[in-house]
Structure 1
C-alpha cells in the first residue's frame, strides 16, 4: 500500500518546482513557434484584468487587484494559440480531402491555423468548399425545419460567453427541445447534481477571500499546476501564513509539491521554492470515499465534531455515523490504498483546524460513484461546521472559462432548473417541458439513429466523448452536422449527410456590431461574473461573432416572433445582458452597470449563507453504497486506468508534446505503470503494448501502439493521456447520478 513518501527516483519525474524558469520557457517556446507579436503581448498584458480580456483557458478566479502578469503558462499558451498568424483557408481544404485529414493527429489539425471562411462539405469531392454566410444560414435553417424537433442536439463547449450561452439556450427552446448538453456533462456535472442534493446549491461555496483566512486545505483529485496554475498564488500566500495543505491524488503532481513564483525576482534568482503540500497521499483511484471515511472514523473516536452545527443544520447525521463506525480499518486501508496511521494524522490535523476548505477536481467527479465521493467530502466538511463561514467551504475547480456560467444562464437539459414560465412570458411561446439529452444520451442517440441533427457551439465533442472508436462511424448517418469553431479539429471531419463549418471570433478579437465594439462576460469557478473586451484585429474579415452566428441560424430556422428581436440583440449585447438580468434578477441585477467591476461581481450562493435549499431544508449527510468509487473492481491481471492531461494541453487541444511537469517528453501514446506492476506483469520499459477494456459487455474496445513508461503510481493503477485513451471507456460506464463518464477509474488490461 502507498502512503506518505517521497517521489520514486527510479521513474521519470520533474525535479523542479512548478512555475519558475520552466514555466517561462514553456510560454516562450509556444510563442517562438508562431513568432512573438506585439498584439499577443498586449493581450497578455490585459489578460484577466478589470476591463481586459478574460482568458479562454481555465475558470480560476480573477482578483480585484491583479498581479503584473495575471496569466499562467497554459493561459498564455491558449491566447497565443488563439491569436496565431497561421490560417486555415479554403485553399487548404482544396488541397486535402476529409478522408486524408482524418489521419492527422489532433495537434496538427489545430496547428493549421484559424478558420477564415464558412465552409460546406461536398460529398462528391470529399472536401470542404467555401460558402457565403447567407448560403450557410439558409441551408442550415431549411434542414433544421425538416427534422424532428426532438432529434436535434444543441451542444455547447464551456468557453462560450454568457451572452452567447443565453441565446443558445433560447434558440434550442424556441426550436422545440431541451437537448442542451454541454462540456460540463463530461467533467463537473457530478458536482452540479451532488451539491444540489446535499447543500441545495449546485456550485462551490467559496470566494477568493476565503483562501486568505483558511488554516487547512484538503485537495482531492485536482492538478493545480497544469489545470489552474494561477491558483498557486493564493496557495503560496496561504502556506506562508501557516495554512496546512493535504493532498490526496494517485499521481504526485508538481503543482501541489512546490512552487516558484515567476513574478518574484528574488525567487527566480535564488531558486527558493515554497513547499505546497504538508502531506501528500497517493491513494488508489476511486479511494477517496474510503480515505474520507477513515478521517471521519477517527474524528468520531476523538469526539471532534461540531454537534451544535450538526444539530442546527444537518440531516441524517445518525445514519452516516452508524455507517462510518461500522467500516473496519482493514477495509478502509484496502479501498484507499493508504495506511491507518496516515489517515489518523490527517484527522488530527483537521480536528485542530478552525477553517477548512475542501478543494477537488475531476479525480473526484469522473467515477461511477463520483457523486458519492462529492457527498463524502460534504460529510467531512459538515462534521466540523466548515460550510457557510468565512475561510471555509467546498471548492470544485472548474475547467473551461465559462462552463459554470453556461448552466447559470439556461444551458441545461433539465427543464426544472430553468425558469421556463418566465421565458414563456418574456418571449411569448410555450417552452418544451420534457427533459433533454445529456452528453451520454446524445451519443447514444447518434449510435441508435434517434439523433439526426447535431449543432455544436465550439469544442471537439466527437474527440472528448467515451467509446469514441465505436461512435465515430455513426456520425455519417446524421442528416446535419454544424460546427461553430475557431480551428479545425476531428469533430469537423466526421461529416454527416450535410455538414457545415462556421468560423467565429475568439474572445481576444474585436467584436464590432452596429452600436460599436461589444463586450461579453463569463463566470469563474468561484461564482463571480467578469466582463471581457477583445481588441485584436479579427483573423479574417469573413468571421462572425458567436452571438451573431446563433442569431443567423435562429432567424433562418424559426418562425418570426415579435418578442424575439435577434437583430436588436446582436446590434448591442447590453440588451442580451438586460434579458439575462430580467430572467435571473437575483444573480444578475444591474448586470450592465457591474460588468467590469474589479474582481467580478458575486452572483451569490444560498449554502454560503447556510440556507439549505434541499428537500429537508438542511444540509444532507449521506451514506455511500461502499468504500470505493469504482463501478467495477479490476479482475485479476487487470488495472485501473486514469486518463490524464499533459501540461502542454487544455482538454482536447494539444499545444505540443512536452509534459514537463511529469518529466515526460515527445510521445502521447504512452502508458504509465509502476515498477512493481511492470515486474509482476512481465513488462519492460519501452515495450509496445495494446490496452483493452476489461468490462465484459459484448463490445471490443482496444487501442494499440502504447509504449510502457515506468512511473510512480499506486499498485494496480496505470495512466494514459486523454483523449487517446477515451475509446477504452464504455459509454455506459459513468457516474450513476450525473452520467459523467468515469474517465478516472476504468478497468483495462495490458496486452503485450
Structure 2
C-alpha cells in the first residue's frame, strides 16, 4: 500500500499580518495609487461607499477601518489604473480571448468604451452609446419577450435593480434570475416554508447576547472576513462555537484581529471554535439529527431532576407545528445510520448536543455548504429544527443567520428581481406605474440554461457578473450560448462570458460603486440591503476610469427608452436624472418597508425594513413555525454516489465568486495552481495516489453524458472519508445541469458524485 503523504497547512492564523500582506500584493498588481486609501477609509461608513464584496452589515459605530481583506481586494480591483481600451480589442480576436483565463482577462483592467461585436472580423469594435441603445432596442422589439433573459449578478444597487425588474415586466416577461439562483435561493425557499421569511432572522445585537453559535458550511476567512470580529468578541465573553464543515478552515480555528494592534504584534490568536465536526459532504442532516437526539436526552434528564428544561415547551406549544413527526423520525433512526451518513462519531454529535443543551441563546449560521445540495432545503430545515427546540428563534441572542455573498443580492430580490409572479408587487405595479405584470412565471438560472439548450432562449442581458463561468455543465451549455440572437453585457472588466458573443453582441462599460455618478441633479446616492435586512446609502467619490462610462441606472433607462412604447408614468429621463425619484417609486411600491426611504437610508447603520419572523410572526401556511421531517440522511441525495466520493467546490483566498485576484490560497497553505484536487492522505493511500500526481475527475452519474476535467494535480489535505475538494469555477463542468436542490433548483456544487482516474 502507498504510504500516506503528510498534510501541509497554513501555520499562521486568519487575519493578522497575512491579511495585510494579501491586500498589499493586490494593491501592487492593480496600481490603484495612494488616493485609493481615501476610498478604503470611507468604506462602509456613513457618507461613504458601501463595499462591493459581501453583504455584511454597516456598523452604527464604525471603527477606523471598516473593511476586510476581501473588501479591500475588491475595491483595489475596481480602482485599478490598467485600462482595457479599443486598442486592446483591435489586437485580439474574440476566439483568441476565449482561450485566456479568467485572471488574464480581468488583469487587462477597466473597460473604457462601449463595444459592438463584429462577426466578420471576430472582434469587438468601438461604438457610440447612441448606436448601441438604438440597435439593442430595435433588436429587442423583434424578439419574443418570453425568450429573453434579464440576469442580475447581485452587485447592482437597489435603484437600478428596481428599474431592471420593471423594465423586464414592461417588456413582457418575468425572466429575472439572479445570482441567488446559484447560491442562496435554497434559503429563500426553505426559510419561507418553515418560518415564513425568506431571509435570516438575526440582527447585529443578537451576536452580543448569544452563548452558542452553530456554524455550518461557510468559510468566513475567504468569503466574509468582517464577521470574524463579532465572532471573536462572542468567544471572548464565553460564547461557544460549534462548526460543521468538511474542511478545517483556519478562520474558524484561530483568528488574529487586524483591528487590534496589540494582538497583531504581541498577542496570541483567539481560538474560535469549541468543537469542529468534519462532516462528509452532505452529512449535515445526519449530524444535526444526532445533535438533536442528544438534546432530547438532556431534556429528559433535566425533566427527571426537576431542573431547567432544555426544550422551550411554552414556545413549542404556542409557536410551532409538526414536532411529533420529527420526534418519531429521530427515535426510529439509530446511531450507526447517523455516523455513516454524517461521517462523524456519535461522541462528536453528542458533544454538539451538550453545548446546545447548556446554552440559553443560540444562533445558527450557514452558507452554501448547506444550500448547494440536492436536499439542501432539508439541511436548512434541520438547522431550523434544532433552533426551534430551544425556542431559539425570534428573541434576543438567537435566530437563523445565513451569510450572503454579493453585496446587494438580497436587496435585488426585495425590490422585484424575481422570476416568481407571486413574489412581485403586482397590484402596486398597476397602481404606481400603470403596469400589467405578465402572469406567467419566468425562469430560474437552471431553466434559462435548459431553454438555451432547447433553442428557445434567444436574448440575454447581463447586469454584471460572469454567468457563463458560474453555471454548471459548461461543455453542454457553452456551444449553445453563442446561438442567441442578442447578448448584452453591462460590465466593468472583461470576462469569459463576454468572449461568447451572440449573433449580435454589445459590451457596455459601467461605473464601479466607488466612482462618481454624475447625473442631471449632481452626484447620485444609491442604496444596498445587507444580510440583516438593513438598507444603507452609498456614494462614489472617485473620478471615473473613463469619460465614456455610464452608470448601471443610466444604461437601463436608455435601453428601456429605446425598447418600449412611451407611457406617461414611465419617466425614464427623470429617473435617470435624479435617483431620489426612483427611491420614491420604491417607497410607493413597498410602503410598509421603504417609507421615507430617501431620509432613512442615511441613518448610521441604515434602516431596518423589518422581518416578521424576528417578531415571532410566522407567515407560513399554518401560521406557526414548522418543524420538518427529513426524507434522507445525507443532503447529496439518492442521485448521489452512495459509499463513493463526492466533490465539494470552493473559492480560494484570492477570489470573489468568478473573479480571480491571484493564485494564493493562503489560509489553506495552497499556492500557485488552481487546477488541483484535495484528497485525504488515507483516501490517497487507499486509491494508490501520490502527491502531485496528475489525475482526472469524472462525474459518477448515469445519464449517458461524460463529464470530465483533466490535468488536475493531487494534493493531500485534512478531509473526511469520501470527500474530494477543488476550485470553483474550474470544476463546474462536472456539475450536471439537472443536479440541483429539489425545490430551489440551486446547483448541487457541494456534493457532486465523482471518481478519480489517474
Give TM-score scaled by structure 2 length: 0.97
Whole-Å Cα distance in 2 between the matches of residues 509 and 9 of structure 1?
A: 50
SS in 2 for 1:150: helix
Residue matched to 2:356? 350
Per-residue CA distance 1:690-720 (angstroms, 9 max, x = gap): 1111011011111111110111100110100
Residue matched to 2:218? 222
SS in 2 for 1:477: coil
Give the counterpart of 1:317 among 307, 323, 326.
323
Residue matched to 1:588? 594
Whole-Å Cα distance in 1 between the matches of residues 244 and 468 of structure 2?
A: 31
1:320 deviation in Å?
1.0
Matches of residues 472-511 of structure 1 in structure 2 within 5 Å? Answer: 472-511=478-517
Whole-Å Cα distance in 2 between the matches of residues 709 and 570 of structure 1?
A: 52
Residue matched to 2:521? 515
Matches of residues 601-616 of structure 1 in structure 2 within 5 Å? Answer: 601-616=607-622
Residue matched to 2:399? 393
SS in 1 for 2:526: strand
1:35 deviation in Å?
2.8
Task: Give the conservation status (yes or no) of the 8 Å contact 1:637–1:749.
Answer: no
Give the counterpart of 2:102 among 72, 84, 106.
106
SS in 2 for 1:358: strand
Matches of residues 272-671 of structure 1 in structure 2 within 5 Å? Answer: 272-303=268-299, 304-632=310-638, 635=641, 638-671=644-677
1:634 deviation in Å?
5.4
SS in 1 for 2:714: strand
Residue matched to 1:137? 133
> Does residue 164 in structure 1 map to residue 160 in structure 2?
yes
Per-residue CA distance 1:478-524 (angstroms, 9 max, x = gap): 00000000000011011111010000000000000000110101011
- Measured at CA, do residues 632 and 666 of structure 1 come closer, stay the same or move farther in structure 2, by a change above 3 Å? farther
Task: Give the conservation status (yes or no) of the 8 Å contact 2:32–2:81.
Answer: no
SS in 1 for 2:215: strand
Whole-Å Cα distance in 1 between the matches of residues 601 and 504 of structure 2?
A: 40
> Does residue 719 in structure 1 map to residue 715 in structure 2?
no
Task: Give the conservation status (yes or no) of the 8 Å contact 2:5–2:691.
Answer: no
Matches of residues 152-231 of structure 1 in structure 2 within 5 Å? Answer: 152-231=148-227
Whole-Å Cα distance in 2 between the matches of residues 162 and 600 of structure 1?
A: 13
Per-residue CA distance 1:441-464 (angstroms, 9 max, x = gap): 001111111100011100001000
Whole-Å Cα distance in 2 between the matches of residues 690 and 352 of structure 1?
A: 47
SS in 2 for 1:436: coil
Residue matched to 1:79? 75
Whole-Å Cα distance in 2 between the matches of residues 350 and 633 of structure 1?
A: 32
Give the counterpart of 2:253 among 257, 260, 263.
257
Whole-Å Cα distance in 2 between the matches of residues 346 and 681 of structure 1?
A: 32
Task: Give the conservation status (yes or no) of the 8 Å contact 1:641–1:719.
Answer: yes
Task: Give the conservation status (yes or no) of the 8 Å contact 1:638–1:694.
Answer: no
Give me the CA root mean square deviation. Answer: 1.1
> Does residue 27 in structure 1 map to residue 33 in structure 2?
no
Whole-Å Cα distance in 2 between the matches of residues 204 and 401 of structure 1?
A: 15
Task: Give the conservation status (yes or no) of the 8 Å contact 1:315–1:621.
Answer: yes
Whole-Å Cα distance in 2 between the matches of residues 476 and 561 of structure 1?
A: 34
Whole-Å Cα distance in 2 between the matches of residues 36 and 488 of structure 1?
A: 18
- Measured at CA, do residues 712 and 123 of structure 1 come closer, stay the same or move farther in structure 2, by a change above 3 Å? same
Residue matched to 1:232? 228
Per-residue CA distance 1:309-365 (angstroms, 9 max, x = gap): 110000111111111111111001110111111111111111111110000000000
- Measured at CA, do residues 172 and 634 of structure 1 come closer, stay the same or move farther in structure 2, by a change above 3 Å? closer
Range with greater deviation from structure 2 (499-508 or 346-355): 346-355
Whole-Å Cα distance in 2 between the matches of residues 139 and 382 of structure 1?
A: 55
1:39 deviation in Å?
2.2
Whole-Å Cα distance in 1 between the matches of residues 586 and 428 of structure 2?
A: 11
Matches of residues 651-730 of structure 1 in structure 2 within 5 Å? Answer: 651-730=657-736
Residue matched to 1:5? none
SS in 1 for 2:241: strand
SS in 2 for 1:455: strand
- Measured at CA, do residues 501 and 447 of structure 1 come closer, stay the same or move farther in structure 2, by a change above 3 Å? same
Task: Give the conservation status (yes or no) of the 8 Å contact 1:82–1:506.
Answer: yes
1:425 deviation in Å?
1.6
1:271 deviation in Å?
4.3
1:639 deviation in Å?
1.5
Whole-Å Cα distance in 2 between the matches of residues 298 and 264 of structure 1?
A: 39
SS in 2 for 1:615: coil
Residue matched to 1:4? none
Per-residue CA distance 1:23-78 (angstroms, 9 max, x = gap): 01000111111335122111000001111100001111111111111000110000
Whole-Å Cα distance in 2 between the matches of residues 126 and 629 of structure 1?
A: 45
Whole-Å Cα distance in 2 between the matches of residues 750 and 299 of structure 1?
A: 39
SS in 2 for 1:668: coil
Task: Give the conservation status (yes or no) of the 8 Å contact 1:632–1:747.
Answer: no
Give the counterpart of 2:146 among 128, 143, 150.
150
Whole-Å Cα distance in 2 between the matches of residues 556 and 386 of structure 1?
A: 52
1:631 deviation in Å?
2.4
- Measured at CA, do residues 276 and 95 of structure 1 come closer, stay the same or move farther in structure 2, by a change above 3 Å? same
- Measured at CA, do residues 328 and 241 of structure 1 come closer, stay the same or move farther in structure 2, by a change above 3 Å? same
> After TM superposition, what 4+ stretches of structure 1 lie above 6 angstroms from structure 2?
none
> Does residue 45 in structure 1 map to residue 45 in structure 2?
no
Task: Give the conservation status (yes or no) of the 8 Å contact 1:178–1:414.
Answer: yes
- Measured at CA, do residues 704 and 180 of structure 1 come closer, stay the same or move farther in structure 2, by a change above 3 Å? same
Task: Give the conservation status (yes or no) of the 8 Å contact 1:213–1:391.
Answer: yes
Whole-Å Cα distance in 2 between the matches of residues 519 and 585 of structure 1?
A: 20
Residue matched to 1:3? none
Per-residue CA distance 1:621-642 (angstroms, 9 max, x = gap): 0111111101246548841000
Whole-Å Cα distance in 2 between the matches of residues 212 and 658 of structure 1?
A: 34
1:298 deviation in Å?
1.5
SS in 2 for 1:121: strand
Any unmatched runs of 5+ in structure 2?
300-309
Whole-Å Cα distance in 2 between the matches of residues 635 and 294 of structure 1?
A: 22
Whole-Å Cα distance in 2 between the matches of residues 586 and 576 of structure 1?
A: 17
